[in-house]
Structure formats: C-alpha cells, structure tokens
Amino acid sequence: MTAQDLAVFNVAVVGAGPSGFYAAGALLRRCPWAEISLIERTPAPYGLVRYGVAPDHPSLKLVTTLYEKIGRDPRVTFFGNTQLWRDLTISEVLATHHAVILATGTPQDRTLGVGDQGVTGLYRASQIVGWYNSDPSHSNFTPRFGAGRVCVFGHGNVAADIARILLAPIERLSGTDISDRALTALQHKPVRDLYLIGRRGPGATRFTPPVIAELVDIPGVEVVIDDPDEQGDDDTQTEISSNVAKDVLEILRGAAQRPRRSLDRRLRIMFRSRPKVIRNDNGLVCVELARDRRSGSDASSILCDAVITATGFGLVGPLWNSLQVIDGALSNRSGQVVDRHGHPISGLYTVGWAARGASGTIGTCRSDAERLVQLILGSASLSTRSATGGHSALTRKLQKNGHHVINFEHWLQIDRVERELGAAAGRPRAKISTAAQMLEAARTFASEN
C-alpha cells in the first residue's frame, strides 16, 4: 500500500519559500486527494523570493504568480506567522500528517572563523539583505556605513547582490520595492568605496555570469579588479571547472582591461585574500588580510567603516531529538530524513537548501521538489502511519493556545495594501516591514469581513 490507497493524504510542508511551494504544487498535481498544511514562520509567504531576491531584480519575483495560485487552492491551508519548535512541535505535526516536508531553508550565516565576534561594524549577509528587503526578522536592524568604505567577504551571488545594491545609483533603487529605511540611508550616506574579497582565484568564484556582468557595469562606479591571470597556489586555468566559471573569468578579464576612470565611487574585486584578523581601531574596522601568491603570501590591511560577511548559509543543529545537521544541511537520503544512526524517520522528509545546503537556483528547487514528491508518493510505509486531523488538528491546537494565524486570505489583503502603498509612491509595492504591522492589517481585514 502507498499514498495512492489513502482516501485523504495529509501532508505538512514547513516553509513557504520556493521549495515549499514547488513541493505543494507537485503534490496537488500528482495526488488530487492530498490536503496540504503550509506552515510559515513569517506572516508573509514566498520566502527567499520575497526576502532574498534583490529589489532591482523584479523579474525573478514573477514566479510568485504561480505560488499564489497554489496558495489559493482549496486543498492548501496556509499557516502564516506559525513557527515550528515555537508554536508547534514537530511531534504534533508528524502525529497529524502522513508526511512532513521540511523546506525551511538554511537561515544561519556562516562565519569567517577568525574570532570576529563582538566587532562593532561587522554584519552578516542575512542582516543586510533583510534590511533592504524589509524582512520583519530584521526590522530593528540598521547598519552604519560611516564615510562609506565597506568590505564584503564572499565571491558568490549574494555577495554580488549586496555590493550592487550598496553601490547602485539611488534613482535605480527608488523605483523598486527596497525598504524605505534602506533607500533613505543609501541616499543620505552612500557607500563610496567597496572591497569585494574572496579566498579563491577568479576561476573558482561562485558568481553566475549575468550577476557578475551586472556588477561590473554599475553606472558611475570605477571598477578595479586584481589581475585575473595572476597565479596563486593553484593555477587559474586549473581552477576552472565548468563553462560557467570560464564565462565568469572572461567577464572579469574584460572588466580588468578597461581604461581606468576617476569616479566618485569605486568597486575593487580582490582574489586569493583571506582574513587573518578583524578588529576595531579608533571607531573603524581594521581588516588584516593574507594574500596568497605563487611566490608565497603577503599581508595587507584595510581600514573601513563596515564589514559584511557573505560566505554562505547553513543550518545549525541539532534541531529536534535525533535530527542531525551535516555540512549545514539536514542529514537525509534523497530527501528522506535519517536519524543519528542513519535510520530513516518515518514520514519525515526535507527538500531544497535544508536538504542539500545553500546552493542552486529557484529552478533547482523545483526539480528537487518534483523528485521528492515522486519518492513520497511511492513510499509503502506512509499508508500505515497513524495520522489524524491534518490541517484541522493544527487549527484547533493553535486556536486553543490563542495563537494568531495568518491564513492566505489575510496574506492577500496584506499584499493588496502593499501594492496600493507602492503605487502611491510610484513603486511596485511598499513592503510592510514588521510582523506587528502585518498582523494588524490582517486583523483589520478580518474585522471588516
């Protein structure tokens, strides 16, 4: 017997980002008798599409049209403002659903590992991205960029996004859904000198070609790039492992060969540079670097107003009883979560970054979700699990505790308010930046209906 033999197949998806919505969508297509509880810790759905995609990349957010269609499906019950391990235990969700899919992403920033805790002016990528994307988790966070000299550690797309937003002309940002706080801050105290620093050579960055091409073409920014063909411990050609890396290297080479211009703002991209010490120095941040060369290492230092680490994300475990985290992701086999002894946990699955670490694109999330749903629907053990109540049981539990759930109709009201506020300012939307304000918008809608 499999899920095909059940009258109703109750599935809980924890995390309403791309992976969660793609998993829900695949279940709805392949299993018309599935009923899905979509559990999201924030009041708003869409995860990284809403709070991770840079505001000047609106085309990447068009996918929310598909997500909205899934969220409106009567077989889907959205539990916004509901956090696992805070409002519900995983045991409660497992007891009421035949299958539980953890699509939580990887919310913790990786550190540089140089004992930089407590340094004033050092920020994590999640803080900066949350600041300019109106993430309610960072509604009380305000970075200080002083005179506008900033170091960003990381040679991936998140680091490039941060650098581009901080250096972009204000008129380019003013027509986006960037947070009002970030727009005002960058308008009055712009970043003028940004160092983008990575440990590896130019053939081993994690940029994608469109992102790096856009970064080196920001209007009004002088671009200075370490010689892309300068050799370090590993020859640049040896580092190149794909056509993508080759394309990135060609873009960097082209930018490095441009005539130098003296402009008000500057971007410097540095390779084979690793931090030795990050410390405060008379109100500034001192970054001491070791720079690897074929002939050995040399040292340099940079005095700046702020340092941002964008060196990746991961999960920090343990999460629950026997769940374990390995290399920043939940321990699993093809999406089936396993315990510390390697034994499958009945009914518990994972997908997306939580399953494989923080890598890949939105499209990768879709293909991963399709494969996982195929695995789940073919599982012979699910139909024997004692799972009763589904979304109704969760609703009763949360109501009993007086918890304020944001359902999908509430979210659509919040969405309408944001679009109206944005239209009044000539922008696609003006995001409501705090959970309290979103809850108030939902309460107003509920009282009027």
Task: Provide the pLDDT for residue 262.
Answer: 84
At residue 192's C-alpha, the angle toward residues 189 and 193, to 5°, is 135
Residue 119 CB neighbour total at 10 angstroms: 17
- What's the pTM value of the predicted model, to 2 decimals? 0.93
DSSP result, 340-405: TTS-EEEEEEE-THHHH-S-S-HHHHHHHHHHHHHHHHT-SSGGGS----HHHHHHHHHHHTT---
Q: Which helix (H) or strand (E) holds 430?
A: none
According to DSSP, residue 110 is labeled P
To the nearest 10°, report the CA torsion of 252, 257, 259, 261: 30
Chain centroid to Cα 66, Å, comes to: 19
Contact between 177 and 422 under an 8 Å Cβ cutoff? The reply is: yes
Chain centroid to Cα 288, Å, comes to: 29
Nearest to 365 by CA among 22, 88, 67: 22
Task: Quote the tokens at residue 232.
Answer: 């370090």
Give the burial class of 262: count Cβ atoms within 10 A of its Cβ; 0-12 exposed, 13-18 middle, 19 or more buried. exposed
Residue 399 CB neighbour total at 10 angstroms: 11
pLDDT in tens, the chain (449 residues): 466 667 889 999 999 999 999 999 999 999 999 999 999 999 999 999 999 999 999 999 999 999 999 999 999 999 999 998 899 999 999 999 999 999 999 888 988 888 778 899 999 999 999 999 999 999 999 999 999 999 999 999 999 999 999 999 999 999 999 999 999 999 999 999 999 999 998 888 999 999 999 999 999 999 999 876 665 545 455 556 688 888 999 999 999 999 888 889 999 999 999 999 999 999 999 999 998 876 667 889 999 999 999 999 988 765 555 688 888 899 999 999 998 888 999 999 999 999 998 888 888 899 999 999 999 998 867 666 777 799 999 999 999 999 999 999 999 999 999 999 999 999 999 999 999 999 988 887 767 76
Task: Provide the pLDDT for residue 380.
Answer: 66
Contact between 4 and 18 under an 8 Å Cβ cutoff? The reply is: no
| Contacts of residue 29, Cβ cutoff 8 Å, sequence gap at least 6 | none
Q: Which residues share a beta bridge with 297? A: 292
Contact between 66 and 25 under an 8 Å Cβ cutoff? The reply is: yes
Contact between 104 and 14 under an 8 Å Cβ cutoff? The reply is: yes
Task: Provide the pLDDT for residue 233.
Answer: 47
Could you give the domains of the chain? 3-107+314-406 (3.40.50.720), 111-310 (3.50.50.60)
| Contacts of residue 6, Cβ cutoff 8 Å, sequence gap at least 6 | 33, 98, 382, 383
- The b/e string for 177-198 (b: 16+ C-beta within 10 A; e otherwise) is bbbebbbebbeeebbbbbbbbb
Nearest to 176 by CA among 64, 57, 60: 57
**Nearest-angstrom CA–CA distance, 332 and 249:** 35
Nearest to 195 by CA among 291, 113, 283, 127: 291
Give the burial class of 97: count Cβ atoms within 10 A of its Cβ; 0-12 exposed, 13-18 middle, 19 or more buried. buried
